[in-house]
Amino acid sequence: MYKEGLAETDSIRKKVMAALEKYELSEVRNIGIMAHIDAGKTTTTERILFYTGRSYKLGEVHDGTAVMDWMEQEQERGITITSAATTCDWKGKKINIIDTPGHVDFTVEVERSLRVLDGVIAVFCAVGGVEPQSETVWRQADNYSIPRVAFVNKMDRTGANFERCVSMIADRLGGNPLPIQLPLGKESEFECVFDLIEEKMLVFDEQSLGQNIAVEEIPAQYIEEFTAARMMLLEKLADFDEKIMEKYLDDTIVSAPEIYAALRKATLALKVVPVLCGSAFKNKGVQPLLDSVVRFLPSPLDVKDVQGEGSKGDIVTRKADPKAKLVGLVFKLMSDSFVENLAFVRIYSGTISVGDKVYNPVKKKQEKISKLLRLHANKREEVQQVAAGDIVAIVGLKFTTTGDTLCQKGDYIILESMDFPDPVIGVAIEPKTKAEEKKLNETLAKIALEDPSFTVTKDLDSGQTIISGMGELHLEIIVDRLLNDFKVSANVGTPQVAYKETVEVEHEGEAKFDPQTGAKGQYGHVVIKVRPTERGSGIVFNSLVESDLIPDEFLGAIEKGIVDSLDSGPLIGYPLTDIEVSLVGGSYHEDESTEMAFGVASAMAIRRTTAEAEPKLLEPVMNLEVTTPEEYLGDVIADLNSKRGKVIGVEAEEKIQILRAHVPLAEMFGYSTSLRSATQGRANFTMQFWEYDVVPAAKAALIIKKIRGI
């Protein structure tokens, strides 16, 4: 029962947790909630928690009181940043729920959640329909072959259109949506829903915050519309079920249990997607959604037995059975400034207890289970044992990282891990004081461990520490956590492109080191020739002189003097590359020549010669791949042309275009934002280093002028 203002007490939580331990595998559902940003995922989850008795107060995203958006950064921005897990009960079924982010910068959170889930609720905004990130997460669910139910949310909003949303699921996502409800009214006139299977009207009582549902007969004025929709439901189901086909053709009554059975079978086979509707914010339609979760989405027994690689490279299978050998997959690590590392684990088979010793075959290390935690957002309840089909957090694993397998001691099986996209944008960061340096490095390492899409690198050319992520918001959140959660004092800027230099033409030069100091002399004389080489060839040194001109004992000092001097080019001091330096002449003095003298002469000669060999500035060029809907291809190409990009190929894959191009890195900072702007957020990209290439003269002049400060 709802009790306003009543906080969950320890005793209530313990009763709930105790109840959640007593379920058969067939009564468990592991589901995720996925959607485009602002479609209402977290609001829907909050209602689920409320109606299942897991939460005794409605949390609201806009008030910053949502249970599942517990991070300060989430509450400030009103968005989900990290996947939050919880467990609840609905009509005798245990539902493990993961609420995933909708922002494109946090797609990796969706990816690793879907890897371990059995079913998904796809939430769509009735106004926006299938939005860009909806397509991304839908494709991710396709990759893992996950059954789905769809919930068309926000039916009370201006512009809501249920039929349009259903059509978009079919056209844009390639799904086979099958409405099992119809809305009565829309926008401000949205009242209730018609249940096409039970042939009833469901009216949600606003006074009880939607807890009381009146089941009524279909009003006479809607019978015709209702009957047509129900016949359409039966006609579609007849394609997948012979019994319903026979009854449909014979025009005999098809019972609700028969429809449920056929619909469950078709949903698990990924042939249809049941579609429901409502308004989570107005507390309408959430309980029927929960009914659909337990009716149509799979239990651990309904999915294929998990497979992995054995010690001999063979395929090993494990059944979803608490009595089988233990196999679990670590799909997420989480840390903060107050607790030890938490490893989120999906248990596929076997049982795990506190005190057990398990084996990590990826790291070839043994781990001890010190604590097992049942999660409810950021609240944690200790449990002593969990079994197959469950999702749990383990405290204090020392060697295990995201994607690792945990198995029984003495066993060997490695489950397929997860592939994470490479970071696409970076910023420079440095501690404000020397004393903060160690703390900053340790904290960055901790964040990188829990977030596979975040990397920390050291730019050897500039000496900067570069943190890289999936977009500006991603890095903004990480910097926010550094400064506020971990209390690290740091300055954050933008990284400088690591330019290099080369020469354009072949040129010969010489230098002689012969100081007249009055004491014993130093003498070194070299003649060198430099010429440009192929991109990526680096630095090549050759000696073409006979030993009577310069003895071999001085060649090492000459090469070192040349190579060391190439660290700073004649234009603006960036390293020289892609050149061949040949020692073609010189002379020595039998008494006064030394290695030091030849080293100095070599350095003088290379600086002088490269300065006269038409030096050019080189910039890193990235190999870019953009995946975009066909209608935005022209805009993407135009945007790349403005960034000095060169399109090298375009491939079509259904309605998606895959464009490949070479683009200077200097033009790619902020590209995630410009690409979203050009494609309404429906495109994504990956890039990696390709080669260094010459900067156009006009652009190079501007760069040189800026760096020299003139």
Q: Do 213 and 201 meet the contact criterion of CB atoms below 8 Å apart? A: no
Amino acid at 192: C
pLDDT at 201: 94
Q: Do 421 and 455 meet the contact criterion of CB atoms below 8 Å apart? A: no
Pairing of strands 315-318, 306-309: antiparallel
DSSP 40-81: SHHHHHHHHHHHTTS-SS---TTTT--SS--SHHHHHHTS--
Mean of the pLDDT values across residues 340-351? 86
Taking the C-alpha atoms of residue 340 and residue 371, their distance in angstroms, rounded to an integer, is: 11
* Residue whose token pair is 């891990």: 417
Q: In the chain, what is the straight-line distance between the N-terminal and C-terminal CA atoms, in Å?
A: 73
Cα torsion angle, 321, 326, 328, 333, sign: positive
Weakest-pLDDT range from 76-80, 192-196, 210-214 = 76-80
* Residue whose token pair is 């928690």: 49
pLDDT digits (tens, 9 = 90+) for 466-513: 887 776 677 878 888 888 777 888 888 765 666 889 999 999 999 998
Taking the C-alpha atoms of residue 708 and residue 699, their distance in angstroms, rounded to an integer, is: 14
Taking the C-alpha atoms of residue 255 and residue 547, their distance in angstroms, rounded to an integer, is: 100
Taking the C-alpha atoms of residue 291 and residue 335, their distance in angstroms, rounded to an integer, is: 35
Q: Do 429 and 467 meet the contact criterion of CB atoms below 8 Å apart? A: yes
pLDDT at 673: 80
Q: Strand ranges (DSSP E) for 138-294? A: 148-153, 177-179, 181-184, 192-195, 200-204, 213-216, 273-277
Cα torsion angle, 543, 545, 546, 549, sign: negative
pLDDT at 358: 93
pLDDT at 140 over 80: yes
Mean of the pLDDT values across residues 595-606? 92
- Mean of all residue pLDDT scores within the chain: 83
Better pLDDT: 164 or 519: 164
pLDDT at 18: 47
Q: What is the number of other CB atoms lying within 10 angstroms of the CB of residue 705? A: 11
pLDDT at 16: 42
**Residue 432 in tokens:** 């404000």
pLDDT at 22: 64
Mean of the pLDDT values across residues 677-699? 82
Taking the C-alpha atoms of residue 693 and residue 600, their distance in angstroms, rounded to an integer, is: 31
* Backbone Cα Rg of the chain: 32
Q: Do 287 and 51 meet the contact criterion of CB atoms below 8 Å apart? A: yes
**Where does the pLDDT of residue 55 fall: very low under 50, low under 70, confident under 90, or very high at 90 and above?**
low
What's the residue count for the chain?
710
pLDDT at 75 over 60: no
DSSP 276-291: EE-BTTTTBSHHHHHH
Taking the C-alpha atoms of residue 468 and residue 479, their distance in angstroms, rounded to an integer, is: 11
Better pLDDT: 28 or 457: 28
Taking the C-alpha atoms of residue 680 and residue 683, their distance in angstroms, rounded to an integer, is: 8
Torsion of CA 279, 284, 285, 290, to 10 degrees: 110
Give the neighbor-by-neighbor strand order of the sheet with 306-309: 315-318, 306-309, 414-415
SS3 297: coil
Mean of the pLDDT values across residues 620-646? 88
**210, 291, 636 from 206: Cα distances, Å:** 5, 20, 48
**Where does the pLDDT of residue 83 fall: very low under 50, low under 70, confident under 90, or very high at 90 and above?**
low
Q: What percent of the chain has pLDDT over 70?
A: 86
pLDDT digits (tens, 9 = 90+) for 367-424: 999 888 887 655 677 888 889 988 888 887 888 888 899 999 889 999 988 777 656 5
pLDDT at 56: 60
**Where does the pLDDT of residue 538 fall: very low under 50, low under 70, confident under 90, or very high at 90 and above?**
confident
Amino acid at 205: D
pLDDT at 351: 92
Q: Do 570 and 617 meet the contact criterion of CB atoms below 8 Å apart? A: no
Q: What is the number of other CB atoms lying within 10 angstroms of the CB of residue 587? A: 15
Q: 471: closest CA among 689, 697, 217, 681? A: 681
**Residue-wise over 94-133: b if at least 16 C-beta within 10 A, else e?**
bbbbbbbbbbbbbbbbbbbbbbbbbbbbbbbbbbbbbbbb
Weakest-pLDDT range from 144-153, 525-534, 566-575 = 566-575
SS3 420: coil
Pairing of strands 148-153, 273-277: parallel
pLDDT at 520: 66
Interhelix angle 256-268/223-238, rounded to 10 degrees, is: 50
pLDDT at 88: 85
pLDDT at 107: 66
pTM score above 0.75 = no
